A and B are shown apart, each in its own frame.
Chain A
Amino acid sequence: MSARRIFARPARFAAIAPYVWMVLFFLVPFGFVLKISLSQTAIAQPPYEPVFDLTAGWTAIRAAFAALSIDNFRLLTSDDLYVFAYLRSLIVAVTATALLLLIGYPIAYGMARLPKRWQAVAMVLVIVPFWTSFLIRIYAWINILQHDGLLNQILLALNLVGEPVVWLSTDTAMYIGIVYSYLPFMILPLYATLAKMEPALEEAAGDLGAPPWQVFWLVTFPLSLPGVGAGVLLCFIPIVGEFVIPDLLAGSNSLMIGQTLWLEFFTNKDWPVASSAAIVLLVVLLLPLLLYERLQRRQLEER
């Protein structure tokens, strides 16, 4: 009997504890988000009703169901604030992901062309910033971008600008922050596919007379598409719901959906509306999430 088969049963038992944990703390909570997104706001603790009470018997449950409403969703679709927030989130995510691809690709390409030993070093160098705190890296940029920060000092010293430029609270600062924070997520999957590529393919194209840009565009780039897909999903999905970066670096006149959700929850204490915003965000991200899940599973399990 092969080890695969003998191992199968105890390995299945290994699934029990993490399975129960994930159902309890990942799946079930979504049920609560859905439920509260359908309930009314109330000035109470917790600030919503109806309170679902299973012990109150069947009529109470029926009454609770009758009290469910889609008012919050109606508010989300009718109020410009939310519609704009969703649109802005998508636009920011698309733009930032495109920037990340443009900046990350040459770096990953350079890494893949390093000698093998240096590739490992370069990979560690790209991963290390991912390990250092996210918040601290954003803070580092506030240091640089503030009114009398290093960037303005350098620009003034070089006489490139006459007076300090306003960087903070602009979209430019936000894009710098996003690109900076998510760059490793773009580089690593790109590098993984580029490093596996057979150098002979590019050489053959070159030997047959293709100029370098054609070699890249007709051979290298199409072969790296799986890495492009992984990198794009890995960046796009979390950026849509990003909160910290736009909150600290972008201006407050146009918000992303992660920020409105945060605001509704912590400032307005409107849990039902925050929950509805989360549900809509989840629906928007469902397709990319499913794509990502399939990609990840194929990569890890079909070896």
Chain B
Amino acid sequence: MRQFSRLSRFNVASLALGLAFLYLPILILVIYSFNASRLVTVWGGWSLRWYHEFFADSAMIEASWMSLRVATTSATIATLLGTLAAVALSRGERFRGRTLFSGMLYAPLVMPEVITGLSLLLLFVALNAERGFWTVTIAHTTLTMCFVAVVVQSRLGSLDRSLEEAAMDLGCAPVRAFLSVTLPLIAPAIVAGWMLAFTLSLDDLVIASFTTGPGSATLPIRIYSEVRLGVKPEINAISTLVIALIAVVIVIASLASKLSSSQGESAAPL
């Protein structure tokens, strides 16, 4: 095959090994979640036993429910704020405090989570806010809106501006031009941003541990406290369910970016 002619044997080997390294551990985890044996290392045949155990564990179910509510709410607020921020940065030209603004948006992407978590907690304590659902939601929104902003901004940057200009030349007010021309074009990136925010929130342990209160643990907090005590087959089952949920989310997000790539460049890599 000529199209593969640029690949050396070394390239093929590193690709194969790299992908195996990325996927094998997850695959093993999923397979062992169907293991009938209590010992994680002994294969006792296929079984759904650990899934039954999970659905009977009310603390885990409650934590899952809490996580899903936080993820949905925070992803929605984050998408709204993140999109606004992206529009301001890519269409707003210069405004006062712009450097500070972009700095505040990009820093949380790499900021160690212990710092973000601790600082938000101290704020909530100073405000005397009752810690629980809303404090975690606000904390997650603060983190994930930055990811949304990057995804949407990268889409806005690759967009052909003449479309907006044409709309306005034809007499559209700027806001109207944005709503009826730009917004539909960046919609796939906005959907992808929501999905990313949702999965990040569902995944977060550190920030949630700092900002939640007694009695409102999220799923990662519960999983973490179980994992510290050792491997339990039930955790494999929960993990598999989370992976399945996220897989569905990824399929939807990639369908959305398919839509966007048929209209131009594809959405941001994240």
Q: Which A residues fall within an 8 A CB radius of B?
A: 2-12, 14-15, 17-19, 21-23, 25-30, 32-33, 36, 46, 52, 103, 106-107, 109-111, 113-115, 120, 122-137, 139-144, 146, 148-150, 153, 180, 183-184, 187-188, 192, 199, 233-234, 237-238, 240-244, 248, 258, 261-262, 265-266, 271, 274-275, 278, 281-282, 285, 289, 292-293, 296-297, 300-301, 303
Q: Closest approach, in angstroms, between the C-beta of B186 and any C-beta of chain A?
A: 13
Q: Is the CB of B123 within 8 A of A29?
A: yes
Query: A23 to B105, alpha carbons, bound, how many Å?
Result: 10
Q: Is the CB of A127 within 8 A of B206?
A: no
Q: Is the CB of A292 within 8 A of B110?
A: yes
| Inter-chain contacts of A124 with B (CB < 8 A) | 254
Some 9 contacts from A to B, beta carbons below 8 A apart, are A3-B165, A3-B174, A14-B92, A29-B120, A110-B12, A136-B242, A139-B227, A285-B112, A293-B103
CB within 8 Å of A: which B1-48 residues? 3-4, 6-8, 10-12, 14-15, 18-19, 21-23, 25-26, 28-29, 32, 39-41
Q: Closest approach, in angstroms, between the C-beta of A253 and any C-beta of chain B?
A: 17
- Once A12-B88, A106-B10, A143-B236 are accepted as A-B contacts, the answer to whether A180 and B21 lie under 8 Å apart by CB is yes
CB within 8 Å of A: which B120-161 residues? 120, 122-123, 125-126, 138-139, 141-142, 145, 149-150, 153-154, 157-158, 161
Q: Is the CB of A107 within 8 A of B15?
A: yes
Query: A17 to B196, alpha carbons, bound, how many Å?
Result: 21
Q: What is the chain A residue whose CB lies nearest that of B125?
A: A46
B85 part of interface (Cβ distance < 8 Å)? yes
Query: A9 to B243, alpha carbons, bound, how many Å?
Result: 43
Which of A3, A281, A303 is B115 in contact with, Cβ under 8 Å?
A281
Q: Is the CB of A25 within 8 A of B7?
A: no
Query: A240 to B114, alpha carbons, bound, how many Å?
Result: 11
- Once A136-B242, A285-B112 are accepted as A-B contacts, the answer to whether A26 and B104 lie under 8 Å apart by CB is yes
Query: A136 to B8, alpha carbons, bound, how many Å?
Result: 34
Q: Is the CB of A243 within 8 A of B15?
A: no
| Inter-chain contacts of A248 with B (CB < 8 A) | 227-228
Q: Closest approach, in angstroms, between the C-beta of A105 and any C-beta of chain B?
A: 9
CB within 8 Å of A: which B241-259 residues? 242-243, 246, 249-250, 254
| Inter-chain contacts of B76 with A (CB < 8 A) | none
Q: Is the CB of A242 within 8 A of B112?
A: yes
| Inter-chain contacts of A242 with B (CB < 8 A) | 112
Q: Closest approach, in angstroms, between the C-beta of A167 and any C-beta of chain B?
A: 13
Q: Is the CB of A18 within 8 A of B84?
A: yes
Query: A132 to B126, alpha carbons, bound, how many Å?
Result: 34
B59 part of interface (Cβ distance < 8 Å)? no
Q: Closest approach, in angstroms, between the C-beta of A210 and any C-beta of chain B?
A: 15
Q: Is the CB of A140 within 8 A of B25?
A: yes
Tally of chain B residues near chain A (CB < 8 A): 105
Q: Is the CB of B157 within 8 A of A139?
A: no
Q: Closest approach, in angstroms, between the C-beta of B170 and any C-beta of chain A?
A: 12
- Once A4-B161, A133-B220 are accepted as A-B contacts, the answer to whether A15 and B85 lie under 8 Å apart by CB is yes
CB within 8 Å of A: which B38-78 residues? 39-41
Q: Closest approach, in angstroms, between the C-beta of B207 and any C-beta of chain A?
A: 11
Max chain B C-beta neighbours (<10 A), residue from A26, A265, A303: A26
Q: Is the CB of A28 within 8 A of B250?
A: no
Q: What is the chain B residue whose CB lies nearest that of A233?
A: B110
| Inter-chain contacts of B116 with A (CB < 8 A) | 26
| Binary flags per residue of B89-106, CB closer than 8 Å to A gives 1, else 0 | 111110101000111111
Q: Is the CB of A133 within 8 A of B97?
A: no
Q: Is the CB of A29 within 8 A of B119?
A: yes
Max chain B C-beta neighbours (<10 A), residue from A10, A234, A303: A10
Known: A25-B138, A132-B246, A139-B227. 14 other contacts (CB 8 A): A4-B91, A6-B174, A12-B88, A12-B95, A21-B81, A22-B101, A33-B115, A113-B6, A135-B220, A143-B29, A144-B25, A271-B122, A275-B118, A300-B90
Q: Is the CB of B25 within 8 A of A180?
A: yes
Q: Is the CB of B168 within 8 A of A301?
A: no
- Once A107-B15, A271-B122, A293-B106 are accepted as A-B contacts, the answer to whether A143 and B206 lie under 8 Å apart by CB is no
| Inter-chain contacts of B80 with A (CB < 8 A) | 17
| Inter-chain contacts of A30 with B (CB < 8 A) | 119
Q: Is the CB of A3 within 8 A of B23?
A: no
Q: Closest approach, in angstroms, between the C-beta of B222 and any C-beta of chain A?
A: 11
| Inter-chain contacts of B28 with A (CB < 8 A) | 140, 143-144, 150
Q: Closest approach, in angstroms, between the C-beta of A170 and any C-beta of chain B?
A: 17
| Inter-chain contacts of A233 with B (CB < 8 A) | 110
Which of A18, A122, A135, A271 is B15 in contact with, Cβ under 8 Å?
A122
Q: Is the CB of A110 within 8 A of B91?
A: no
Q: Is the CB of A32 within 8 A of B40?
A: no
Query: A11 to B119, alpha carbons, bound, how many Å?
Result: 30
- Once A111-B15, A234-B110, A297-B106 are accepted as A-B contacts, the answer to whether A18 and B119 lie under 8 Å apart by CB is no
Which of A19, A153, A296 is B41 in contact with, Cβ under 8 Å?
A153
Query: A51 to B167, alpha carbons, bound, how many Å?
Result: 56
Query: A168 to B199, alpha carbons, bound, how many Å?
Result: 28
- Once A114-B7, A136-B243, A192-B269 are accepted as A-B contacts, the answer to whether A278 and B157 lie under 8 Å apart by CB is no
Query: A231 to B18, alpha carbons, bound, how many Å?
Result: 17
| Inter-chain contacts of B101 with A (CB < 8 A) | 15, 18-19, 22
